[in-house]
Structure formats: structure tokens, C-alpha cells
Amino acid sequence: MKEELLKIKDEAKALIEKAEDLKSLEDLRVKFLGKKGDLTAILKMMGSLSAEERPVMGQLANEVREDIEALLKNKFDDLNALEREKRLDEETLDISIDKDLVSLGHEHPLIKVKEKLEDLFMRMGFKVIEGPEIETVENNFDLLNAPQDHPSRDMSDTFYIDKENLLRTQTSPVQIRAMKKYGAPLKMVSCGRTFRFDDVDNTHSPMFYQMEGLVVGENISLANLKFTIDQFVRELLGEKIQTRYRPHHFPFTEPSMEVDVTCHKCAGEGCEFCGGTGWSMELLGCGMVHPNVLRNCGIDPKKYSGFAFGFGVDRITMVSYGINDIRLLYENDQRFLDEF
């Protein structure tokens, strides 16, 4: 047994010295010291020795184990040091890199305006409510009093998923959901993406952000609507901005109006940006909630009245930052984004 123990020690020493990587070294540890290793197999034969030989062989076996463990540790330290040096050589860091090449991200102007609008309306007492982008035809058209032959229902104007579902064409369906859930009184806004078949030009996009507001209560009048719109516009765009209300028609409001604002570049004097008119693009649509819409949502139009308004957040962003092409908001051109 003594010869076999010494043979294992010599073999282990020779193989450990030749090990080239940590995996090979671990394999050698298992080979010699593992539960089924060479040294363990020898120790299982201790029972066949005489009482005099057993302690002598036991001590020698412990010495061999300790020697092999020391060889493994020394070799592990050497290989580990070599591995670290190799990694340091391969993972060099160029500390001379120009720090100006590292750019920090920032909020997109469209998202900044969206959050600013939500904060503004919350300060005015409105609740912010979200809704799904995939809507039912009922919520998007039927309950909003849209006639069956209304052009917006055509497949050439709306992205239909099937006969009963579509990509919402406006955020007005969130108003329907809110009135059904909360009833009256109600004061809420909703903002999100909407989708329409639109030719792409400097003011139109098939996907755009829209925000809509709704107030329902007793004795709500057109004067309340105008006061709210004027306050919102001046807080957002500045005290010098003027508004102009023009009659219009929407199926879900009666009466209905469109609202223009004076050009932020020339303050209404007339310039190249506004085409010399002194007025910027049409900013939003609004009106008194149609009694049919209230009735469709379970609200008594004889007791309650309300007003609603809606606008493109993209247009607000364009007016706020003097952007003349809506496509710039979605092209992700780094040169454009760096301006903000």
C-alpha cells in the first residue's frame, strides 16, 4: 500500500505541473481526491491491514493528501494569476477617449409636452384616465353619436381589426368608458396614441397623440367651456396668446367649435411662419356634449350637461417649439432631437 500511495503522489505531482488551465486542474482534483478518486480507493483498502500497519498507512495517506492539496493550491494560484493577466491585456481601457463623444439622453419634446399638459390639467382639477388603443366600434363611433354613414367609419379612414374592433381614431372612447364607470359629475382628461388613414405631410400622420377633456355636471355652460380653454391655452403658450372660436360640426357635441390661436412668432402681427395671417394652425375642437352621448352612457341630459374638447398633442408641440413638420417628431433623427 505504501508503494501505491507514493505512486499516486508522484503521478499527481507530474500531472498537476503540466496542467494548462483551471478546468484541467479541477479534473485532476476530482481524479485524485474526489469521492471516487484514486486516493479514496486506496483508503477503502485500509480495513485489510493489520492493527500495527493501519495507523502508519493512515498517517502516510494523510501526508499524501496534504501534499496533493498543496500542489493543487499552488498551481491554482499560478493559473489564476496568468488568467488575470491575460484578461487585463485583452480588456484594455482607452482612458484617452474624448468625453464629449458621450451624449446623455433626454426627454422627447412630444413626451415633455404630454406630461406638461397632464400636469396642467391636474392642477385645474381634472382626473387623468387612460384607455386601450384597440377599441370597440361601439365606443369609438356608436355611443359617440356618429351616424352610420359618417365618412370616418369607412375602411379608407379607419384601421379595422374586425367588424367589431379597431385601432381607436380618437381618445373620445375613454370619455365613454369614464362616463359609464363614474357617471356624473365628472372632470377628466385622457391622452394617448390614435390612428387614422391619413396622407403623410407636414401636418398629418397616420399615428399621432391626442388629448381630450370632458366635464359633466349640473348647469355646465358654454361659458365654462370657453373659460377653461382660454385658461389652458394661456398657461401653456403664454399670456399674450389670443384665441378665436369658429363654428364647426362634430357628431358628439352641439354646438361645436374649432379654436385657433395667434402665431407665437409674431404675436398676431403676421409673419412668414403664419403666412401673414397672424394666426397659427387650428389648435383644437370643442363643444357642448350632445344629449344623445350623455343618454348613451346612462346620464340624464335633463339634469346634467357638459362640454368636451380634443386636440393633437403633436400640434401643441409644434406650436410650442416652432416645429413646422410633424414628421420630425417621429423620424428619430438625432440631429433634430439634439436641439431639445
CA nearest 310: which of 236, 243, 225?
225
Cα–Cα distance measured from residue 173 to residue 293, given in angstroms and rounded to the nearest whole number: 11
Backbone angles phi, psi at 301, to 5 degrees: -70, -15
Cα–Cα distance measured from residue 193 to residue 313, given in angstroms and rounded to the nearest whole number: 10
Q: What are the residues whose beta carbons fall under 8 Å from the beta carbon of 83, sequence distance 6 or more?
A: 21, 22
| Length of the chain in terms of residues written | 340
User: What residue numbers does the annotated binding site for Mg(2+) cover?
Assistant: 254
* H/E stretch holding 212: strand 207-217
3-state secondary structure of 243: strand
CA nearest 337: which of 98, 110, 99, 100?
110
Q: What is the CB-side half-sphere exposure of residue 109 using CA atoms within 13 A?
A: 23
Which DSSP string corresponds to 256-323? EEEEEEE-TTTTTS--TTTTTSSEEEEEEEEEEEPHHHHHHTT--TTT-EEEEEEEEHHHHHHHHHT-
User: What residue numbers does the annotated binding site cover?
Assistant: 254
Q: 194 to each of 49, 243, 287, how far by Cα in Å? A: 89, 26, 20
